[in-house]
Structure 1
Amino acid sequence: MLYHTTWLISKLDPIKYMMESPVLSGRMARWQILLSEYDIVYVSQKLIKRSAIADFLVTRTTEDYEPLRFDFPDEDLMCITEKECESPKEKSWKMSFDGVSNALGHGIGAVLVSPEGNHYPFTVRLNFFCTNNIAEYEACIMGLHAVIERNIKTLEVYGDSALVIYQIRGDWGVRDSKLVKYSDLVAELIKEFKEITFNYFPREEN
């Protein structure tokens, strides 16, 4: 209708009055505003023979015709558009790990923190001799296994061992032959996650 002149044929004078009256209020005014963008010519039905109307309607019949709806429940809305909603971003869990090796023994620990702030600690005593770096790797691997078992796909990892964190991130190379297998195992575990980051913080902040 935007590209053609439309002839509105009606024998009801109120319709013509509504369209041509300069002063209207309420719903009638909104109707006038909505229809003002179209090029509509109002013609009295008395001026056109009924056969001409019937012939015109016959030529414009379609199989998918749907009757017009004259109720406007959303009459205050001038425009409606569709917008694709983005799926909410998955909230990430956090994991902190630490390992220790000294004359008193060898132990590792990890703490999982849910997006809601719940803490889940894990601690293990190692029954074999190891260095501090091996203990740190063991702690990280234990924590990653715990996260994978819970089917968590987004994780932020925090550790106070610069060597382990930077080797896992690929910033530093693995020169100690005893740590190569640990580094390779962590690289395999990382593949289980959709998004994972490794962050270093100083020991005094642990």
Structure 2
Amino acid sequence: MNGAVETANKNIKKIIQKMVVTYKDWHEMLPFALHGYQVEIPSMRVLMEAKLIDAEWVKSRYDQLNLIEEKRLTAMCHGQLHQQRMKKAFDKKVKPRVFREGDLVLKKVLSFAPDSRGKWTPNYEGPYVVKRAFSSGALILTTMDGEDFTRPVNSDAVKKYFA
């Protein structure tokens, strides 16, 4: 039809742009824009039929997108429920470790140099004394002789020493 449908769509788009507040509610104004355009040009029945077919396609496409969005939200909700269940199961088994000043601890050996003892190399060294414990999980350790470590140690890298 020599671009008549495209021209009509362009005009309807202009009408909708003047009517909508946000881009999300364009589909609510589409019937009003089509009606206004139809009243404006009553002699172009063929064009109107083409536009109505176009509008029906837009509405069916919008319904399809809504259905896809609902499925996505449902899947996301199921995923979040699964994550919550997994977190709850994990948190049941986690024992909070609290270190206080004066506690004796063993520090994990984090040596990357090869040791001649092989698999018989000790995994922990110490005992050390907790000089200061921070709420973030960092610990300042001292040796039994009172020498401070230069850096704080993460509480994940230590375990309590029971004498």
Normalising by structure 2, what TM-score?
Answer: 0.26
Normalising by structure 1, what TM-score?
Answer: 0.23
More helix by percentage: 2
Answer with 1 or 2: which has the greater Rg: 1
